[in-house]
Amino acid sequence: MGIVLGANHYGKAETRVFRIERDTDRHTVRDLNVSTSLAGDFSAAHVAGDQGAVLPTDTQKNTVFAFARDVGMGEIEEFALRLARHFVTDVEPVTRADVRIEEFGWERIADHDHGFRRTGPEVRTTEVVVDADGSHVVSGVRDLVVLKSTGSEFAGFLVDGFTTLPETHDRVLATSLTARWTHADGTADPGSDHWAASYAAVRRTLLERFVEVHSLALQQSLWEMGRAVLEARPELESIELVAPNIHHVTVDLSPFGLDNPGEVFHVTDRPYGLIEVVVERDGD
């Protein structure tokens, strides 16, 4: 039984590109972190050290900068699609390109024409894959930190010999949400307005459902958030939610003669609950 090369890909990670649109005195700015990764038949590069089919990762970086200049970026999904299609179409050995982009937010300071302040901590994301089957677009957000100060319970859970957790009917629910939603047909590019509107609507739905749902568990909140997104956005076929449970532990103040009616909490770092769930359309 021989030893062979399995799945492999390579690329340039975290090219930090900043773009100013300065057609008028009122500038707009875009701040991206772009990672590209290419697959194809690169066996000679591995087995024989022959790099003849390998487009350098340095070239991939150059391509990101050049593409940022000559057309304009559009939304990150469009920019990723353009880059991924270029690699698959124009670079002969490449059969699959995976482009991931993070976008950092900026807002104007005092409505100034060219003065800006970073917003956050949330980051908008996309991952686009182009291969022989077409284009596949996932949009997302990470580090969307949300919290409910009430309206959250955790009770009626399974108990075994290692269970000491008391039930609670009023707790703090907090998470730093990562969400990724898959567009049903990524082959066409519906244009900037679509991508922008789709992103804004999903983000708004996630936030609103998080606060509105009376939560019997983080799992339930995530399900309701994901379901609402798919109900509202027919262009999406599924959504994945990854949610660390940022534990807020009620501090026992009784040794100091004080009660603590859900007012003072210790926020812990580790360990943390971690809930991961996909919500999708039936028949997928």
**Interface with its own copies in residues 22-41 (CB under 8 A):** 22, 27, 29, 31, 35, 37
218-257 footprint of its own copies as x/- string (CB under 8 A): -xx-xx---x--xx------x-----xx--x--x-x-xx-
- Phi/psi zone of residue 232: left (φ > 0), alpha (ψ -120 to 50 degrees), beta? alpha
45, 196, 197, 201: residue in contact with its own copies (rule CB under 8 A): 45
Which residues lie below 8 Å from residue 98, measured CB to CB, with a gap of 6+?
Answer: 9, 11, 36, 37, 38, 39, 84, 127, 128, 129
What CA–CA distance (Å, rounded) separates 146 from 143?
Answer: 9
Out of 41, 89, 90, 133, the residue judged to bind its own copies by CB under 8 A: 90
3-state secondary structure 67-103: HHHHCCCCCHHHHHHHHHHHHHHHCCCEEEEEEEEEE
Q: Give the Cα-Cα-Cα angle 212, 248, 199 (nearest 5 degrees).
A: 40
**Residue of the chain from 151, 192, 196, 235 that contacts its own copies (CB under 8 A):** 151
Q: In terms of CB distance, is 21 or 133 closer to its own copies?
A: 21
> 77 with 139: CB under 8 angstroms?
yes
Say whether 36 is catalytic.
no
- Residue from 41, 133, 185, 276 binding its own copies (CB under 8 A): 276
Between strands 106-108 and 94-104, the pairing is: unpaired
Pick one of 41, 82, 96, 117: the residue that binds its own copies (CB under 8 A): 117
Eight-state DSSP code of residue 154: B
169 binding its own copies? (CB under 8 A): no
Of 221, 229, 179, nearest in space to 204 by CA: 229
119 binds its own copies (CB under 8 A): yes
Query: Using the rule CB under 8 A, is 89 a contact of its own copies?
Result: no
**Which helix (H) or strand (E) is 230 found in, with range?**
helix 218-232
**Nearest approach, Cβ of 179 to its own copies (angstroms)?**
14
| Site for its own copies contains 21 (CB under 8 A) | yes
- Three-state secondary structure call for residue 223: helix
CB of 278 to its own copies, least distance (A): 3
Measured from the Cβ of residue 220, the count of other Cβ atoms closer than 10 Å reads 14
161 interacts with its own copies by CB under 8 A: yes
Binding mask 128-147 for its own copies (x = CB under 8 A): ----------------xxxx
Active site annotation includes 205: no
Which range touches its own copies (CB under 8 A), out of 47-55, 125-133, 134-142, 190-198?
A: 47-55
